[in-house]
Amino acid sequence: MNDPRMRSLQISPGDLEAAQLDELIREIQQKSLFYYQEKNKSLRARYVYGTIFLVINLCAWFIRDYAQKALALLPYVSSCGPQGSHCFHTLGVLRVSLGCFIFFLILFLSTWNTMKLHQAQNSWHSNNWTFKFFLLVSAMVACFFIPQLYIQIYGEIARVGAGIFLGLQLVSVIEFITWWNNYWMPHDLSKLSCSFGLVMSTVFYIGSICGIAVMYYFYAVSTACVLNIFFISWTVLLLIVMMVMSLHSKVKNRGLLSSGIMASYIVFLCWSAIRSEPSHTKCNAHTQNGHTDWITILSFLIAIGAVVMATFSTGIDSESFRFQFRKDEAKEEDDIPYSYGFFHLVFSLGAMYFAMLFISWNVAHSARKWSIDVGWTSTWVKIANEWFAAAIYLWKLIAPIVRQPRVHEQPQPTTAEVRR
């Protein structure tokens, strides 16, 4: 035991603790690096899914407008009917939409309970692109072998799914408007932020008023345009109600900025609804020229881009919906950056939504080439969307007042009761 060589091999307790601390630090650094890399993969993956969704939209447009001449093999499939009529135009769009819906529904079911970056579902969400490609193609091809009756049933279901998608999109937009209002109009009322908020609210209100004036000038040219006059006038009434409510002293998130942004949004929805009216109506004849030109093509491509961006922005905004049920939850380092399940659910509903836009919410008839979301059904869907958006915003303003507990005054005891 007194051998000097044995004593030189002994490690002091201090050196042992230092070695364990260094090892722990290296382990923590490796985990942090792993979490950082996994988060970057998942953030990049959402752009890949968005690109896939864009390509599917373009495929649906091609199937609707040009596939009957370009593809000669599909008519030989029995489910496509005589001359392939059940695989092109409206039914073709629904088949592509169904394939997209199945693909993202599978991803939703396989990732909905993912919470941590080290789970196997996280790797499935961010990797395995070759297998996912074959899965997508298989789902698309399989839908062209489904009988016509089931495709029509899916079309009716897709109307409901598209409506749910619009509701989620509205909540996401209103939550963003609320966040922006709180950011530029904080409670501390700093001079710089308030000045910017006042300028922006003025800009949005001026834009809304100009939009109203333009709609009256172009789409309410005579007293015969009763429906357009009603749409525009009702929008003006909604603007006034929202402005008054947002300035009420009891409203928590009061201010002109949020109501100004919301005013611009519902004016845009009203304009979009009137633009969707059929071209044969007298009050909207100049908006649809009946032939394909560069303006029509550009408007169509912008509309497709808007659909993809709306789906993408709503899909990554899971926080707006999670905070409705679970508040003040601290994010940990190994938490996923966004909800994978909600992301894929929104994209599956977005597949139903783009189908309704391409067929103008009408399962029985095909839409005109290079057109999107045109028809009376589309018009009323957008008007309902506008009114629903205003209702959600107004409810968000008054909900804290309605829900706050009321303090009941206790009756003061009389002198005789005190003596007892």
Which positions ≥6 away from 178 have C-beta within 8 Å?
253, 258, 396
Whole-prediction pTM: 0.80
Mean pLDDT score, 203-222:
91
Which residue matches tokens 């009988």? 147
Mean pLDDT score, 135-152:
92
User: What confidence score (pLDDT) does residue 30 get?
Assistant: 80
Q: What are 158-193's pLDDT values in tens digits?
A: 999 999 999 888 888 888 887 777 776 655 555 555
Q: What are 33-48's pLDDT values in tens digits?
A: 888 888 889 889 999 9
Which percentage of the chain shows pLDDT scores above 70?
78
Say yes or no to pLDDT of 74 above 50. Answer: yes
| CA distances, 367 to each of 84, 286, 350, 402, 418 (Å) | 17, 19, 19, 45, 82
One-letter amino acid at 337 equals: P
The answer to whether 174 and 392 are in contact (CB under 8 A) is: yes
Mean pLDDT score, 58-67:
88
User: What confidence score (pLDDT) does residue 188 get?
Assistant: 52
| 343/313 Cα distance (integer angstroms) | 9
| 259/72 Cα distance (integer angstroms) | 54
Give the CB-side neighbour count of residue 84, counting CA atoms within 13 A.
20
Q: What are 240-287's pLDDT values in tens digits?
A: 998 888 877 676 655 678 888 899 999 999 998 998 888 766 676 555
The answer to whether 140 and 99 are in contact (CB under 8 A) is: yes
Q: What are 322-378's pLDDT values in tens digits?
A: 544 455 556 677 788 888 999 999 999 999 999 998 998 988 777 777 778 788 888
